[in-house]
Amino acid sequence: MAEATSELLKTADGRPLKAALAAAQTRARRRAFLLVLPLLFFVLLTFLVPIGYMLKRSVEHDGFAASAPALVAWFGANPGFDPADPPEEAYAALVQDLARMQGEKTTGIAGTRINYSVPGTISMFKKGAREAKDLVPPFKDALLAVDPAWAKPALWRGMASASNAYTSEFYKVAADMKLSDDGWTRGGDKERIYLYLFFKTFLVSGIITVICLLLAFPVSHLLATLPMAKSSLLMILVLLPFWTSLLVRTTSWIALLQEQGIVNDMLVGLGLIDDQGRLTMMYNMTGTIVAMTHVLLPFMILPLYSVMRVIPPSYARAARSLGATSWTTFRRVYLPQTLPGIAAGSLLVFILAVGYYITPALVGGADGQLISNLISFHMSKSNWSLAAAIAGMLLAAILVLYWLYDRLVGIDRLKLG
């Protein structure tokens, strides 16, 4: 019945109303999308493409594949060779490629590629390439005379794997696996540096999140329950750190916490510690945690405050009048109502903490470094592929957290001040 009526309805120019409405909505959708398009294009070009390019670098490295054609061809023809004892033709191809690398000056880049999975190979490649053109058959014995390490099965496995430009090796290295003579194996406990640092980063971020929550909860409650004029004034104390340069805040924490700093001077002045027993609170994990808590605290206070502000005080009063103690009122009535704010603030602080770079780099010393600092370290050592792989793993973790944030809190509820 309803359908029959709507078919009868027509616009002034005789078109069915339903079709005209659909056309108008399509136009409106297109117009809205066109407004967003320039920014989408800009973000695509300057944000998504660079990150995509970085991810590509984390699985692609043709440093060896492009400069060792003879060996690549031999590996292609003999996929099932025994890395423990490669035949003479393989060594012949290797020597031919080494001579070619010397001519084309690609020894460094090829050696670097193998060096990711088999450490210590750059110098072997350089030495081998220098002497390659003087070597005579049988090449196996000749090359092993230059350096017996050329017979290492791990090296041959590494070269066979590197003959393909696309590889998951960098992720394996970033997951603390190493290429031994028997193939990829998990490193011993002492070699698990990368996963350990990931674990440490998450642990430290968790600690910072909990500290932030404990510090933010009473303050947000005070701000939410004070009269507006007073709370606006106090809010400035929360927002000012938010607007102050990160480097300024880091600098002042150095001034406060270093060994000859203000906090230690005060403690000595008050006689709480003696001059020799000054506390080491800077250039270690303590410095990182204190400075990062200070930086991230406003990100916890603001969402908590905006949730607490709209909790009606009558609920708590009702609970008290029904005989609940103040602790029960807090635990069973007030706290559950603040959960959305706790979730929003904690997730945001945790996400921001996991990717933190500047503060640990400046005040963390050797002990207080996080995963971002490791990425930066490998960038500075030109281990670009490994840096990209670690960054790829960090990105995956962040995207999961971001998705969780969107599901639990909603991105549109993100507010600033």
Partner 1 sequence: MALPTYASPLERAWYYTYLVICGLVFLFLIAPILVVIPLSFNAEPYFTFTPKMLDFDPEGYSLRWYDTLLTLGHPTPDAPRDASWWSAVWERATWVQAAKNSFWVGLWATILATTLGTIAALGLSRPEMPYRRLIMALLISPMIVPIIIIAVGMSFFFAKACVAPDSAMGLIFGFFLSEKGCLANSHLGVIVAHAVLGIPFVIITVTATLSGFDQSLIRAAHSLGANPRTTFFKVIMPLILPGIISGALFAFVTSFDEVVAVLFIAGPDQQTIPRQMFNGIREAISPAILAVATILVVISVLLLATVELLRRRSDRLRGVTGR
- Contact set for partner 1, span 367-396 (CB under 8 A): 372, 375-376, 379, 384, 387-388, 391, 394-395
Q: Rounded to an integer, what distance in angstroms lies between the CA atom of residue 331 and that of residue 91?
A: 74
Size of the site for partner 1 (CB under 8 A): 97
Q: Which structure tokens are listed for 207?
A: 């600690």
Residue 74: CB atoms within 10 A of its CB come to: 23
Q: Return the residue of 83, 128, 158, 261 that touches partner 1, per CB under 8 A.
A: 261
Q: Which stretch binds partner 1 (CB under 8 A): 15-23, 138-146, 161-169, 291-299?
A: 291-299
Q: Return the residue of 38, 188, 323, 336 that touches partner 1, per CB under 8 A.
A: 38
Give residues with Cβ within 8 angstroms of 417, minimum separation 6.
239, 242, 302
Nearer to partner 1, 27 or 332 (CB): 27
Nearer to partner 1, 4 or 34 (CB): 34
Specify the amino acid at residue 303: P
Grouping H, G, I as helix, E, B as strand and the rest as coil, residue 282 is: coil
Q: Which stretch binds partner 1 (CB under 8 A): 87-95, 140-148, 160-168, 346-354?
A: 346-354
Q: Does 284 bind partner 1 (CB under 8 A)?
A: no
Q: Which structure tokens are listed for 300?
A: 């916890």
Specify the amino acid at residue 115: N
Q: Return the residue of 213, 249, 311, 324 that touches partner 1, per CB under 8 A.
A: 249
| Alpha-carbon distances of 374 from 118, 167, 385, rounded to whole Å | 20, 22, 13
Least Å distance between CB 176 and partner 1?
20
Judge contact between 67 and 109, C-beta under 8 A: yes
- Whose CA is closest to 50, among 405, 383, 395, 402? 395
Q: Does 271 bind partner 1 (CB under 8 A)?
A: no
Least Å distance between CB 232 and partner 1?
6
Q: Does 330 bind partner 1 (CB under 8 A)?
A: no
Q: Does 222 bind partner 1 (CB under 8 A)?
A: yes
Judge contact between 152 and 181, C-beta under 8 A: yes
Least Å distance between CB 255 and partner 1?
5
Specify the amino acid at residue 232: S
Query: What DSSP assignment string belongs to 332-370?
Result: IIIHHHHHHHHHHHHHHHHHHHHT--HHHHHH-TTTT--
Q: Return the residue of 7, 9, 15, 33 that touches partner 1, per CB under 8 A.
A: 33
Q: Return the residue of 73, 248, 339, 400 that touches partner 1, per CB under 8 A.
A: 248
Q: Does 303 bind partner 1 (CB under 8 A)?
A: no
Of residues 68 through 97, those in contact with partner 1 by CB under 8 A are none
Least Å distance between CB 66 and partner 1?
17
Nearer to partner 1, 38 or 336 (CB): 38
Least Å distance between CB 305 and partner 1?
9
- Whose CA is closest to 412, among 339, 344, 336? 344
Q: Does 273 bind partner 1 (CB under 8 A)?
A: no
Nearer to partner 1, 184 or 402 (CB): 402
Q: Does 213 bind partner 1 (CB under 8 A)?
A: no
Residue 35: CB atoms within 10 A of its CB come to: 8
Grouping H, G, I as helix, E, B as strand and the rest as coil, residue 68 is: coil
Of residues 8 through 27, those in contact with partner 1 by CB under 8 A are 25
Of residues 41 through 70, those in contact with partner 1 by CB under 8 A are 42-43, 46-54, 57
Grouping H, G, I as helix, E, B as strand and the rest as coil, residue 162 is: helix
Nearer to partner 1, 51 or 193 (CB): 51
Nearer to partner 1, 124 or 354 (CB): 354
Q: Does 219 bind partner 1 (CB under 8 A)?
A: yes
Least Å distance between CB 110 and partner 1?
20
Q: Rounded to an integer, what distance in angstroms lies between the CA atom of residue 91 and that of residue 133?
A: 13
Give residues with Cβ within 8 angstroms of 276, minimum separation 6.
none
| Half-sphere exposure at residue 27, Cβ-oriented, CA atoms within 13 angstroms | 6
Nearer to partner 1, 180 or 231 (CB): 231
Angle (CA) 357-359-364 rounded to 5° is: 100
Nearer to partner 1, 50 or 138 (CB): 50
Judge contact between 370 and 360, C-beta under 8 A: yes
Of residues 153 through 182, those in contact with partner 1 by CB under 8 A are none
